[in-house]
Amino acid sequence: MQSKSFSDMKKNILLIILSLIIFQDFKAQNIFPAIIPNPVSIEISKDKFEFSKQTRIYSANPKLVSEIQTFNSIFSKHYGFKLIVENKIPKNEFIELIYSDKLAKEAYQLSMTSKKITISGDEAGIFYGLQSFMQMLPPKIEDKIQINCVNINDYPRFSWRGMHLDVSRHFFSKEFIFKYLDYMSEYKLNTFHWHLTDDQGWRIEIKRYPLLTQLGAWRKGTLIGHASDAEIISDTTAYGGFYSQNDIREIVAYAKKLHITIVPEIEMPGHVMATIRAYPFLSCNGGQTEVATTWGVFNQIFCTKDTVFDFIQNVLLEVIELFPGTYIHVGGDECPKNNWKKCSVCQARMKSEGLKDEEELQSYFIRRIEKFLTKHNRKLIGWDEILEGGLAPNAAVMSWRGFEGGKKAAQEGHYVVMTPGSHCYFDHYQGDPTNEPLAIGGYTTIEKVYSFEPMPDSLSDSQQKFILGAQANLWTEYISNEKQVEYMIFPRLCALAEVDWTPINRKNYEDFRQRLLKHFDFFDTRGINYAKSIFEIKKTIICDTINRNINLQLSQAFPMGEIMYYVVNNFTYKSEIKKYTSPIPIIENCEIFAEVRDKNGDIRGKAEQKFVISKTSGATINLTYPPSSYYNYGGAYTLLDGVSGRIPWNGKEWLGFSNTPLEAVVDFGKIQKIKSVSVHTLIAEASWIYLPKKLKVEVSIDGKNFIPYGELNSDDINKIGRLLKIEKAITKARYVKILVERAGIISSGKPGEGQNAWLFVSEIEIN
């Protein structure tokens, strides 16, 4: 009995080892194709298909002629030759395309034998099947190559798989738009949201209103540096450009071949400085404006008089003519209502329409446009601000300020595209900001994008149907050229594609990251400028509350070599270069520099970190109110980690608060003598981040009875600036309670007026 089960066990172990060897072997030979987005199902057989310049492509169905042409034109861009097209069943190895309307929309099936690859589906499905096939090839084809045979069954999770591009803040050529569409389609994204108008430039020719492009497409200069720099300066170089209606027709036709629908965005009633520059009658006071040369939110918006609606409708008629897709995006975001409050026409409109406030007036505005679009068989979509004051009956919502707007709209039976800033804003930093080119802020790594789940929680099955899908946005304030567009979208676009396409149970970040390596080879071969942040040395600051110090842990997602580092102690004395083996204890002020080189000696990752040590190092902290989920990368400990946030600010080193004050209790673990308390705050008005109005510090021996330590009021803070400090005679305390109050509502004439001011804090330093 025992011996039988023992031999069974041996057999089983042998089987497991054998299958592991086979599995390893598959991996080692790259038998698993590195397809992104990961297909719904993929099976591997042991057959091989020999692909060469002699491989034919064939379809019996004339419907698919244009799919063959499109594929061949993409293929030849990458490989320098086209597949030979046959009109009868070829004798050589070949790819056969079979039209089928039996599968779901955009679905495809791909099966392979050693002689033939068969792809079936509708036109889009065939297109996607061919993209998957192309991803099975190496980046370059010199001669014959052996491809391992697979069977794939694949279809998308969401119908709206979007990428956005802002061409107002910076203009990109028609040729580059073609490229952008290529990039999208190779990863099975199907919706291009084209942000054509904004304060800094109007970019679409409208025949009836020629001044829109003659005047509105040109600005007199462009902001230098960051909008949150202390001093705002612009260069004096005229900047602009626009797409003619012929350009747009070409782009729409090109997108159609790639199975991409274009959603044009015409901003209203805010973000219209360039529009009003061309036609001043559109504003409330009729006042002249300039096309904006800086980034931000501006007070000059459309009035609600009838002539404005006439103008918008005439513009939209031409837009509808140019863009055949169902949706027209009308913006609706970030619209300060001060001018409406002062305008007699707008106030009279509110009275006659029975609107109780300016939010309802915006809602009236959007409803009126929606009625017009509906009459012309189009659907309106807008940013989630269009929910305020009541949503227009058939409007769809793009949820950018988090998940809530999207969830609410779906619950009310409106279609929704999820694009929350936290996961989908590709203008954010994607790696350690020390290593990255200047960006608007934020911190959205590829891992974060990959972790995005577009379906808001607690929606019923019927409400879930209203979530059309997910989209990433590329705002281009800090992205002035094509190479930088590529850098900001790649490789995050690949993660977005998988979020939009792949079923949840087929998503796995480790596996994705491995597949991504092959795509880096494609990018390298094709000259695409992509971010290499996933190779960077990852810094993790670990608090050791037992030994009461902090440690810097360095790690690599893909080990590329040994991490070497040196320390500049007290910012003065340079240590020898050491091999990193375990977290580095930080016991005094210092700066650490690390790098990793591959076996060729090339630098593959770098890291540097400056630490200022105080009594808070190794202490613990409790926050009464959590920070905003958008700006809470490292949690409360961010405030004690010895790292003072850099400027321009980024989402990694700061905690942000928009509804509550910061209230923190720091516990040293034992009684300490303290002589000063400092709080590192931020002023970045363009991002609605303002100095706090109060700092109050209390101390305690027992954590229950707190006594006042010191206080700074608004006048003190305005004099001191962002690094707030209270110094006193030596005081004994184990606990320090810090209260920092937000500025409150942003005052008139300032960026974000009428909104809650943000409070950003990066560090609490106690000496």
Give CA–CA dist 764/639, Å, rounded: 5
**Judged by CB under 5 A, how many residues of this single chain contact Zn ion?**
5
Helix (H) or strand (E) holding 194: strand 191-195
- Annotation says 271 is catalytic: yes
> C-beta of 146: minimal distance to ligand ACM in Å?
48
Helix (H) or strand (E) holding 567: strand 563-569
Whether 456 contacts 508, CB under 8 Å: no
> C-beta of 425: minimal distance to ligand ACM in Å?
7
Closer CB to ligand ACM, residue 108 or residue 295? Answer: 295
> C-beta of 195: minimal distance to ligand ACM in Å?
9
Whether 642 contacts 613, CB under 8 Å: yes
Q: Which of residues 249-288 bind Zn ion (CB under 5 A)?
A: 284
Closer CB to ligand ACM, residue 203 or residue 737? Answer: 203
Residue 322: contacted member of ligand ACM, Zn ion, none (CB under 5 to 8 Å, by partner type): none
Strands 549-556 and 537-544: antiparallel
Tell me which of 93, 122, 154, 198 is the catalytic residue: 198
> C-beta of 517: minimal distance to ligand ACM in Å?
32
Please report, as ranges, the residues that interact with ligand ACM according to CB under 6 A.
333-334, 383, 400
**Sign of the CA dihedral with 453 first, then 456, 458, and 463 last:** negative
**Sign of the CA dihedral with 714 first, then 720, 724, and 725 last:** negative
Residue 615: both structure tokens together: 């009594």
Residue 384: both structure tokens together: 């989630």
> C-beta of 698: minimal distance to ligand ACM in Å?
39
Q: In which region does residue 79 sit, left (phi positive, over 0), alpha (psi from -120 to 50) or beta (all else)? A: alpha
Residue 384: contacted member of ligand ACM, Zn ion, none (CB under 5 to 8 Å, by partner type): none
> C-beta of 382: minimal distance to ligand ACM in Å?
9
Strands 379-383 and 327-331: parallel
Q: Which of these ranges, 131-139, 336-344, 352-360, 696-704, lies near Zn ion under the rule CB under 5 A?
A: 336-344
Closer CB to ligand ACM, residue 312 or residue 417? Answer: 417
Closer CB to ligand ACM, residue 639 or residue 684? Answer: 684
- Radius of gyration from C-alpha coordinates of the chain: 29
3-class SS of residue 37: coil
- Annotation says 198 is catalytic: yes
Nearest residue by C-beta to ligand ACM? 333
Residue 334: contacted member of ligand ACM, Zn ion, none (CB under 5 to 8 Å, by partner type): ligand ACM
Please name the residue that has the structure tokens 């509804």.
659
Give CA–CA dist 718/681, Å, rounded: 12
> C-beta of 197: minimal distance to ligand ACM in Å?
13
Residue 383: contacted member of ligand ACM, Zn ion, none (CB under 5 to 8 Å, by partner type): ligand ACM
Q: How many residues does the chain have?
A: 767
> C-beta of 201: minimal distance to ligand ACM in Å?
16
Tell me which of 193, 259, 271, 519 is the catalytic residue: 271
Tell me which of 166, 334, 498, 685 is the catalytic residue: 334
- Annotation says 321 is catalytic: no
3-class SS of residue 221: coil
Residue 753: how many CA atoms within 13 Å on its side-chain side? 11
Residue 707: how many CA atoms within 13 Å on its side-chain side? 7
Closer CB to ligand ACM, residue 325 or residue 331? Answer: 331
Give CA–CA dist 374/367, Å, rounded: 10
> C-beta of 400: minimal distance to ligand ACM in Å?
4
Closer CB to ligand ACM, residue 400 or residue 512? Answer: 400
Burial of 629 (0-12, 13-18, 19+ CB in 10 A): exposed
Strand blocks (E) in 356-494: 379-383, 396-399, 416-418, 467-472
Q: Which of residues 297-326 bind Zn ion (CB under 5 A)?
A: 303
Closer CB to ligand ACM, residue 400 or residue 657? Answer: 400
Whether 761 contacts 740, CB under 8 Å: yes
> C-beta of 709: minimal distance to Zn ion in Å?
51
Please name the residue that has the structure tokens 């001018």.
339
345 counts as binding Zn ion under rule CB under 5 A: yes
- How many CB atoms are closer than 10 A to CB 426? 25
What HEC string does 478-545 produce? CCCCHHHHHHHHCCHHHHHHHHHHCCHHHCCHHHHHHHHHHHHHHHHHHCCCCCCHHHCEEEEEEEEC
Closer CB to ligand ACM, residue 93 or residue 334? Answer: 334
Burial of 658 (0-12, 13-18, 19+ CB in 10 A): middle
Q: Which of these ranges, 169-177, 237-245, 337-345, 564-572, lies near Zn ion under the rule CB under 5 A?
A: 337-345
Residue 333: contacted member of Zn ion, ligand ACM, none (CB under 5 to 8 Å, by partner type): ligand ACM
Residue 141: contacted member of Zn ion, ligand ACM, none (CB under 5 to 8 Å, by partner type): none
Give CA–CA dist 765/623, Å, rounded: 16
Q: Which of these ranges, 15-23, 345-353, 369-377, 475-483, lies near Zn ion under the rule CB under 5 A?
A: 345-353
Residue 400: contacted member of Zn ion, ligand ACM, none (CB under 5 to 8 Å, by partner type): ligand ACM
Residue 242: contacted member of Zn ion, ligand ACM, none (CB under 5 to 8 Å, by partner type): none
Residue 144: both structure tokens together: 């014959």
Q: Nearest Cα to 87, choosing from 102, 101, 97? A: 97
Closer CB to ligand ACM, residue 471 or residue 617? Answer: 471
Q: Nearest Cα to 503, choosing from 20, 104, 134? A: 104
Query: 147 forms bridges with which residues in the sheet?
Result: 49
Closer CB to Zn ion, residue 305 or residue 379? Answer: 305
Binding site for Zn ion (CB under 5 A): 284, 303, 343, 345-346
Catalytically active residues are 198, 271, 334
